[in-house]
Structure 1
Amino acid sequence: MLSVALAVVAVGGVTAGGTAFVRARAHSGTAAVSSAATTSASPSAGAGEEASVEPGTEPAVDRTALLGKAMSAVGVPSGAQVSAAVLAVDSGESVAYGNAAFDTASIVKVDILATLLLQAQDADRRLTATEKAYATKMIENSDNASATALWHTIGRADGLDAANKRFGLTATFGGEGELWGLTQTTATDQLALLQQVFLEGSELSAASRGYVRGLMESVEADQRWGVSAAAEGDSWALKNGWLPRSTTGLWDVNSIGRVTVGGTGYLVAVLSRGTRTQAEGIALVEAAARAAVSAFTGE
């Protein structure tokens, strides 16, 4: 399982102006690096004198402030909420905005496939031709019937929750009965899932990770929106989710995946709810994805 250091700043709300937090992931054989500031005042410094930096150290970049500032400029529609999390693959440093739980809608399909692959690994078997056909349609076309079939194969919520415990997800809970789209999750949990899919040290084998990534790189043309808005060209792999809530008429719109910017890979998860239309939700998610990556790129 991937090793992730503890958050160093508490999270807050999910509307524009909410609080962000940052954490750093320890690489194998190395200590976790905090994103807290490394500057300190000299004991003899007088009033008006600047704090000094310890010799040989560099001031830490305050990703929390950068993400909070970027998200405050996103322009969240009235009544809507958004949460985002991003990890820079090279450094392992991550930062998140908001900690509320959201409906997954169809992004849970990545989790369903990851669970299926983990169960197949445990049984020392390969996916059947039928399971592969369902997986392809579920990820590339976001086919709901295929998702329902595999939801039953994995044991529905119980199977998903058991796999997620091994994946290191702590705030994701499968939807009741057939309602896999109402699985509850957080942006930070989705970031943990993306690490399982895209990074080494995963519960999933290299072959399993490559299989999921390949499908996420091949979603049909009209679903190539979301976190891909933060990518350079076609350097992305993603899965989106969208769901109009019958009780309110408002939309859940989510996007998770990997993008490449300036030669660096980023894992990005954005969750939203409460927009009046799907198009408004897509615009919000794309703006939040660009804001999340800007906490590292400054752009």
Structure 2
Amino acid sequence: MESPRARARRRRRPLLFTALALLTVVGGAAAGTVYVKAQAHSGGRPVSSASASVSVSVQAGEEASVEPVAQPAVDHDAALAKAMAPVTVEEGAEVSVAVLDPESGESATYGSGSFDTASVVKVDILAALLLQAQDAGRQLTATEKSYATAMIQNSDNASASQLWRAIGEAAGLDAANERLGLTATEGGDGMLWGLTQTTADDQLRLLQQVFGEDSELSEASRSYLRGLMGEIAVDQQWGVSAVADGSAWALKNGWLPRTATGLWDINSIGRVTVDGRAYLVAVLSGGNSTKAKGISLVETAAGAAVSVFTGPGR
């Protein structure tokens, strides 16, 4: 004689049948695609607390099939262009900005022109020096460290010139950049390291080498460079740091008045933390009528870039 428990098992319907029976239809037609929300139950109790959006394709004479609804890809470059639209750029001035969310790997770029690096190249100079030291299996000397500290924290030009010579000037920088993945950066002629040409995308690649794990730079080299960029002189704490939460930033700025035109190159690169999440940001600009206007442009552009990942709906 069949037991009550056996009869209960025999009468129990398959889980898939039960789940489909509980589909809540939110739109559709007799033929075409119907979007529904489903929650599977067994014995009147939820199997999972998560609900899933699915697509039910129904064609005449065919059985329905259930599959996940693909989410549309986000065009971050378009979103950044939209965020930059209200940013005021003086007539004759140019700006380019690139941003990366290291946690998701998503990035966005606005503008593709080449710019003078001014003093942001000092991060690149130190990265090249550290690579050369790694290759030689040595630590930086006390003199090199003294120059590096003054060059990054105080943006001292004499120290930068000393280390520029030490790495082999433009040839040394270009060789290092080939390893670091900078494909659109070219060292300045002779001792004109501030006229090194670069792009916002390349500066973002440099920041990834400094702040990321997949890097040609050793952990010790990255930690050393990050430490210097986190202790910039007070009068130079502007640029990308303007969008950070408090002191949660590491940066290097560059500013250069061009003799021929009297116009300013104003640049800023670094890592900022917003709402507990880190972002890498590089902003380059040229043709600014004053240093102050250039700084305002760079800071506004940095804010627009980060808003792509922190704005409404993100």
The partner residue of 1:181 within 194, 199, 217 is 194
**Residue 74 of structure 1: how far off its partner (Å):** 1.0
Larger relative CO (CA 8 A, sep 6+): 1 or 2? 1
Higher strand share goes to which structure? 2
Equivalent of 2:93, from 72, 80, 84? 80
Which residue pairs with 1:165 in the alignment?
Answer: 178
Name the SS of the counterpart of 1:254 in structure 2.
strand
The gaps in structure 1 that reach 5 residues or longer are: 1-43, 47-51
Report the 3-state secondary structure (helix = DSSP H, G, I; strand = E; otherwise coil) of the residue aligned with 1:57.
coil
Poorly superposed stretches of 4+, deviation over 4 Å: none
Give the aligned partner of residue 205 of structure 1.
218
1:217-242 Cα offsets, whole Å, 9 max, x none, are 00000000000111111110000000
CA offsets, 1:40-76, max 9 Å, x none? xxxx869xxxxx9772532222212210111111111
Determine if the alignment matches structure 1 residue 266 to structure 2 residue 310: no
> Which residue of structure 1 aligns with residue 236 of structure 2?
223
Residue deviations 1:98-155 (CA, integer Å, cap 9, x gap)? 1110000000000000000000000000000000000000000000000000000000
Q: Distance in 1 between matches of 2:85 and 2:132?
A: 41
Residue matched to 2:159: 146
Q: Which consecutive unaligned segments of at least 5 residues does structure 2 have?
A: 1-30, 34-53, 56-66
Among 131, 134, 137, the alignment partner of 1:124 is: 137
User: Could you tell me how far apart the structure 2 residues matched to 1:185 and 1:226 are?
Assistant: 18
Offset, 1:216: 0.3
RMSD: 1.5
Q: Secondary structure at the match of 1:296?
A: helix
For 2:265, the equivalent position in structure 1 comes to 252
* Partner Cα separation in structure 1 for residue 269 and residue 251 of structure 2: 6
Counterpart of 1:200, as a letter, is E
How many Å separate the matches in 2 of 1:123 and 1:56?
54
1:114 aligns with 2:127: yes
Q: Which amino acid aligns with 1:131?
A: E
Q: Note if 1:94 corresponds to 2:114.
A: no
1:250-274 CA-partner distances (Å, limit 9, x unpaired): 0000000000111111000000001
Equivalent position SS for 2:272: strand
Of 124, 149, 160, 1:136 maps to 149
Q: CA offsets, 1:159-180, max 9 Å, x none?
A: 0000000000000000000000
Match of 1:5 in 2: none
Three-state SS of the structure 2 residue aligned to 1:202 is: coil
C-alpha distance in structure 2 between counterparts of 1:186 and 1:111, whole Å = 13
Q: Deviation at 1:191? A: 0.2
Instruction: Indicate conservation of the 8 Å contact 1:140/1:220, yes or no.
Output: yes
SS at match of 1:99: coil
Aligned length: 251
**Cα deviation, residue 92, structure 1:** 1.1
- The one-letter code sitting in structure 2 at the alignment partner of 1:59 is P
TM-score (norm 2): 0.78
Partner of 1:191: 204
Structure 2 CA distance for aligned equivalents of residues 113 and 275 of structure 1: 27
Q: Distance in 1 between the 2:117 and 2:78 partners?
A: 27
For 1:45 and 1:274, how far apart are their aligned partners in 2?
56
Q: Rg larger in 1 or in 2?
A: 2
Q: What residue in structure 1 maps to residue 293 of structure 2?
A: 280
* 1:62 counterpart residue number: 75
Q: Secondary structure at the match of 2:72?
A: coil
**Bigger shift: 55-64 or 233-242?**
55-64
Question: What's the % identity of the aligned pairs?
Answer: 69
For residue 271 of structure 1, give the secondary structure of its aligned residue in structure 2: strand
Residues in 2 aligned to 1:243 and 1:156: alpha-carbon distance in whole angstroms? 19
